[in-house]
Structure 1
């Protein structure tokens, strides 16, 4: 009676499953398979955003056990074994019946479970040994296939069109941040944004993104990023404030994500309320430095370079050039990274930060986001999404990085 809206090709799903299996043997060599709980990771491995548990054995067929929506899962996923379940006590018999029995040691993606559910799982599977397997999923998702890259390139192109070509014609000085946020949504939805941004770090949320005019760019923020914002309300600290007007002579930073078919691009663009000739020298110099850092980090981001090296270079240059105080945020807004992986979530592995020494690989996608806070004034800077190639990272979200003048 019903047809699915789309399918992930079976070959692509098999590639992902095999990548997780390969990484699992290094991450948890004692485990005979991995239990996956988060809906995002279930989607990655099955093609359906299922609520339940996926058992992916090292050998044998995966088994997807669904609490609700079995019919939809069977429409969308090409897995052979998709069955209903209600209790973790059913995992053992359901997997055995499917011909893929649980193994004595089970890896689990533990970030996908609350403490309560984790304790319940351990109680129901007390005869099994549970070990962490999260990193196997992170490493598999880190390197994108051509199937994934094609989606992300289209996403980035739409993103650039919205922020560079379309938005400057519908925003103007004198608007509140909230009005600018609403105009941004109109433009993004018209271009095909699918309406949700996903973050995977525990407790992090995102809606549209940050709209920060003038001093809002340094407003105290609990979000794990350098750009401050007033937001809508203490109960909804995103988008922009109805009480803050974008005044003439002020920069405006829009840090807004785009999403199609589950995949994201991340982009920050800077605008100025007035002609380009009126941009103050300190803001211009700081913005130019951020653009320079983005381009240099992108050039360095080749297979074999580590995220830690990219971060160390940026911090060293900020220190040498007199930008250390506000680089990547002022005071409590300062963050210890220069960018991050991106894909099905905005905040994917790896962070471009100290201590992350796993070399970059071709096919990884990273967001590079140097920003500079200027005390008492604003924040300026840039962010774009880059595909790692043999010759360095290539922007898939546009190649125009100047602070764009908007005149009323």
Structure 2
């Protein structure tokens, strides 16, 4: 997996710079070394990530000194020609029957005692690594890694824009799939197929929450048959071939003799205004929590504050949820290039839910929308 369309030489320098930044973050965090497992962090720092299942694969990034990579011998051919080789990293191997943790300990600085592991490292690997290094302690590297990953480059923003445009195309077709008499599962299957048809590598999630099911933010889909007048929350997304994710939500009204719940139109308009307020608040220098406050205040003022039960947004990139988070208490200062969702909602138990979500990038002067599907209420079916 690569994260840029740049030429190979440019990619090599890109990953070298990211590793240098991580070494600096390790020093600032008081860690002697950062250990990274297969997953989005490894893809970010090396442009390549292969699952080694229960076997240990690990990128070693010391606070001071050269980075190295440990892979199972049987996985070594899969790293041929990747940026790991182009960077000139030491690529050590271990073979089944050998102790991988002893092999990993041999790649660490001799005095390394504070071992920072990424959020994706299985506990079995983290704890066995600690056991292999006498006197060591484990810390989490996720915050240090997040400080680097949440600042998107121009190529990453381009990838997010492509993902946003692709998921917009699927939302534009929802009216073909969503209608009374079909089950949520049937609608979800058609949407999932279209997500791939529009250019995604796969659908990662397809939430179709009709009527009272829409009041559960992560309902996914069920055998419930959609009825005329239902409000239906459709939250969809997935990774593009670039590895970068889409995530976009719209709430639709199924045609009938009007909404099944007479309060739905007014609640929808409150959420639409709340989402617009959150987007409008995005600019460099604003604390992340202010985006949550801007959206939340609209809903609180309308008397529905207790039914806004989620944060307002989450970062996005090589993961659908990553730093920074738009939530009360997060004082991270927004900077140009940060990317995240703005997705306020109102969830009325037993009745319906409304959520509107777009991905926004912080521009030099304000918000840059990665999604351009209309936010006005759409009636389908």
Question: Aligning the two structures, in what range does the TM-score lie when normalised by the shorter sequence?
Answer: 0.7 to 0.9
1:90 equivalent to 2:92? Answer: no
1:341 maps to what in 2?
315
- Other-structure match for 1:9: 11
Structure 2: how far apart are the matches of 1:126 and 1:37?
21
1:369 to 333, 343, 349: 343
Aligned to 1:195: 202
1:295 pairs, out of 276, 279, 282, with 276
After superposition, the Cα gap between the structure-2 partners of 1:88 and 1:348, relative to the gap in structure 1 and judged at 3 Å, is: same
Structure 2, unaligned runs of 5 or more: none
Whole-angstrom distance in 2 between the partners of 1:110 and 1:13: 17
2-structure distance, mates of 1:130, 1:339 = 30
In the alignment, which of 348, 366, 384 is matched to residue 358 of structure 2? 384
CA distance in 1 between counterparts of 2:39 and 2:373 reads 34
Q: How does 1:322-341 map to 2 (within 5 A)?
A: 322-327=303-308, 334-335=309-310, 337-341=311-315
Contact 2:116 2:139 in 1 (8 A): yes
2:150 to 142, 151, 169: 142
The range that moved more, 50-59 or 257-266, is 50-59
Distance of aligned partners of 1:196 and 1:252 in 2 relative to their CA distance in 1, 3 Å threshold: closer
Gaps of 5+ in 1: 1-5, 198-207, 220-226, 230-237, 328-333
Check 1:102–1:53 CA distance in 2 against 1; reply closer, same or farther (3 A cut).
farther
Task: Determine whether 1:256 maps to 2:264.
Answer: no
CA deviation after TM superposition for structure 1 residue 41, in Å: 1.2
Q: Give the Å deviation of 1:156.
A: 0.5
Q: Distance in 1 between matches of 2:140 and 2:348?
A: 42
Q: Give the counterpart of 1:62 among 58, 67, 72.
A: 67
Cα distance in 2, alignment partners of residues 399 and 185 from structure 1? 18
CA contact (8 A) 2:271 2:299 kept: no
Give the Cα separation in 2 of the matches to 1:11 and 1:304: 29
* Count of aligned pairs between the two proteins: 360
Q: What is the aligned partner in structure 2 of residue 46 from structure 1?
A: 46
Q: Aligned residue for 2:24?
A: 22
Shift of 1:42: 1.2
- Distance in 2, matches of 1:228 and 1:194, equals 22
Shift of 1:152: 0.9
Distance (Å, rounded) in 2 between the aligned partners of 1:184 and 1:252:
14
Name the structure 2 match of 1:35: 35
| Native 8 Å contact 2:270 2:298 kept in 1 | no
* Cα distance change on mapping 1:123 and 1:178 into 2, 3 Å: same
Once residues 271 and 187 of structure 1 are traced to their aligned partners in structure 2, the CA distance between those partners, rounded to angstroms, is 18
Q: CA RMSD in A?
A: 2.4
Q: Is the 8 A contact 2:22 2:145 kept in 1?
A: yes
Are the counterparts in 1 of residues 284 and 335 from structure 2 also a CA contact under 8 Å? yes
